Structure 1
């Protein structure tokens, strides 16, 4: 392996909702330290620090490489398992250019719709139409990485299609 994977557990201030993030660094981390609000990483003879004003990773001294940011949900049932649900559309709130795709076949984890590039904040307008039917869905957001980005919320508009008795 040419790098290091770091897993970070974060909690929101409101609601105490937690989530794991995985970071893949292009270098091996030998040691790390936190001083104040800054994270420092040592790799061989190099010292790296996290700079939230920089877009990308320093892969070599003075060489910044941009990378995609990917957020993916697990397969969600949205109601009774195995019953087909109809997705009508979605809204997203955040910052930065984003491509949205939907996993539509849980038995084939790689089967996603093509990515649709949408504005970072779609709430001021109409719902983004996305008609598709599946028993469970996974949502994947891909941020290009050439600009700072942030995800705040995603709203899905769907209906359970089970028969009424």
Structure 2
């Protein structure tokens, strides 16, 4: 029995897919689906997934919020191994999020300090974040207990090669 689940999701547009990893705070014995509902068995408990809930075991004394984390792999943003300058980014979604940027691919745990950004920065100016690195990994963290949604991240970078 494990509490980590990997899910491959296909988008409705263009047959693009991505893997997601979910870590539940309880062991998972079985999954089953009935109509459009997903059920999870954990020991003697049968839980129903509900898109409207923002906690595990909602309404139960064991209720607990869960954190949402979205992290990209290391992105080259052009020629591999060439230093790029991150100028800034825009984010589109809902719910308060904190952002971190990894800037040393050889030390995968090194990220900027987390800082809170607005859920949707497009109506205003780009969020400035000057970083120089050959590749970067973005990490968004949504605190538990709140509904949130991620729609897009637009990153502005400059190639630092001479003549680029």
**Matching residue of 1:42:** 41
**Matching residue of 2:114:** 115
Unaligned segments of structure 1, at least 5 residues: none
Aligned residues: 164
**Maintained 8 Å contact 1:26/1:59:** no
1:28-54 CA-partner distances (Å, limit 9, x unpaired): 222221011111111222111111111
Distance, in Å, in 1 between the alignment partners of 2:44 and 2:69 is: 31
Q: Does 1:30 align with 2:29?
A: yes
**Maintained 8 Å contact 1:99/1:142:** yes
Name segments (4+ residues, structure 1) moved above 4 Å: none
User: What is the root-mean-square deviation in Å for CA atoms of aligned residues?
Assistant: 1.8
1:102-158 CA-partner distances (Å, limit 9, x unpaired): 001111111100112011110010111111111111100111122111111000011
Q: CA deviation at 1:59?
A: 8.6
**Matching residue of 1:134:** 133
**Residue 26 of structure 1 aligns to a residue in which SS?**
strand
Distance, in Å, in 2 between the alignment partners of 1:31 and 1:74 is: 30
**Maintained 8 Å contact 1:27/1:59:** no
Unaligned segments of structure 2, at least 5 residues: none
Distance, in Å, in 1 between the alignment partners of 2:30 and 2:136 is: 40
TM-score (norm 1): 0.93
Q: Does 1:12 align with 2:11?
A: yes
